[in-house]
Chains A and B, each alone.
Chain A
């Protein structure tokens, strides 16, 4: 008969401390304005879920039992971590795609504005504010 595995205390401690560290680093990054809240939410969720699973050993053992992980419950921790990292990466790919599209639009708008400016008599070229308004209609 197979005895259901237990999570070693040491693993639980190290994993908890690591998740807590992740959460703290994310908070500090937001505070110092290097990370926008919008992109931090998924990281915070990752940190909180991992922290909950690492600290609550009974829960991790139970969930491992449900999933048929009989021998080594912390494997579930790895699986969950990998799943969340995948989600974050996928999210970033969509963000990256959007930024790429916007970058193209910006480059086009700037190029068209420069053309517009260069066509004007040189005396007026120093007033970009006025020049920007009519050219902005083109999209």
Chain B
């Protein structure tokens, strides 16, 4: 089975090396692809010196565009399984086992590491928790399935999911819309409880006024997305 770890990174010079080493420690057979979203702190060089395959985007595409670059690479190069791990050190590759097992055994097409599925509460600001709860409720309703963490980028995907996302992936803050898309395409999603760490370096990409824009945009996108019968690959439009 050909496996790849897709690591989107934007100015994560301080954390990226550790993330790559931890993925190696988890399973050395994983190829590590770092998608450098036009960082200007030398993230790409650090990643390359740790032996990762590095794609540098010509300008900042945002998390959705960066991650999709990874899915395209995985689809083109015939990978059977892809793990998505953030470049900031928030996700612990040591927790990948359960996610990988769920997908490689065929129990799910995509397995998401959720901060909220387990008993262990995740600390976060109040407004953010409320936002996450609203999104989780909406997505659960639309997908007829209990989804607790719609913003988690800690995921493992099988070939079907890789191909779908390579063809079509939402922009900006993609995970919420992607959950609805998967449901439309009859792919099976599963959640597994994980712990997430404090960010090793850098800052969250969503704060302040942006959260308002984020909520409005995502709610609009998932509601309209639910009206679409199937997502159409961008190339076809």
- Which A residues fall within an 8 A CB radius of B? 27, 30-31, 33-34, 36-38, 40-41, 44, 101-102, 105-106, 109, 129, 132-133, 136-137, 139
Q: Are A30 and B220 interface neighbours, CB within 8 A?
A: yes
Question: Which residue of B53, B171, B172, B228 contacts A133 across the interface (Cβ within 8 Å)?
Answer: B53
B58/A139 in contact, CB under 8 A: yes
Closest chain A residue to B220 by CB distance? A37
Contact with A along B209-237 (1 / 0, CB 8 A): 00001001100110010011000100001
**Interface residues of B, dominant DSSP:** mixed
Q: What residues on A are CB-neighbors of B221 within 8 Å? A: 37
Residues of A near B45 (CB, < 8 A) are 137
Knowing A38-B217, A41-B216, A41-B220, the reply to whether A31 touches B54 (Cβ < 8 A) is no
Q: Report yes or no: A137 in contact with B56, Cβ–Cβ below 8 A.
A: yes
Please give, as numbers and ranges, the residues of chain B lying within 8 Å of A30 by CB-CB distance: 220, 224
* Contact between chains at B217 and A31 (CB < 8 Å): no
Closest 6 CB pairs of A and B: A136-B56, A37-B221, A30-B224, A109-B58, A105-B58, A37-B220
Q: Considering only CB atoms, which chain B residue lies closest to A45 in the complex?
A: B216
Contact B58 A31 (CB under 8 A): no
- Residue-wise interface mask of B (126-137) relative to A, using a CB-CB cutoff of 8 A (1 in contact, 0 not): 000000000000
Q: Is B49 an interface residue (CB 8 A)?
A: no
Shortest Cβ distance from B170 into A: residue: A37
CA distance A71 to B58 in the complex (A): 56
Q: Is the CB of A31 within 8 A of B44?
A: no
Asked if B55 and A31 make an inter-chain contact with CB atoms under 8 angstroms apart, the answer reads: no
Alpha-carbon distance between A24 and B114 when the two chains are bound, in angstroms: 36
- Among B35-63, those with CB < 8 Å from A are 38, 44-45, 53-56, 58-59
Are A41 and B54 closer than 8 Å at their CB atoms? no
Residues of B within 8 A of A102 (CB): 58-59
CB neighbours (8 Å) of B227 from chain A are 31
Interchain residue pairs with CB less than 8 A apart (20): A30-B224, A33-B232, A34-B237, A37-B220, A37-B224, A38-B217, A40-B220, A41-B213, A41-B220, A44-B220, A102-B58, A102-B59, A105-B58, A129-B76, A132-B55, A133-B53, A133-B54, A136-B54, A137-B44, A139-B56
A31-B227, A36-B171, A129-B76 in contact; A41/B217 too (CB < 8 A)?
Answer: yes
Sample of 16 more A-B contacts, CB < 8 Å, known A30-B220, A37-B221, A41-B217: A31-B224, A31-B228, A36-B171, A37-B220, A38-B172, A38-B217, A41-B213, A105-B58, A105-B59, A109-B58, A129-B76, A129-B77, A136-B55, A137-B44, A137-B56, A139-B38
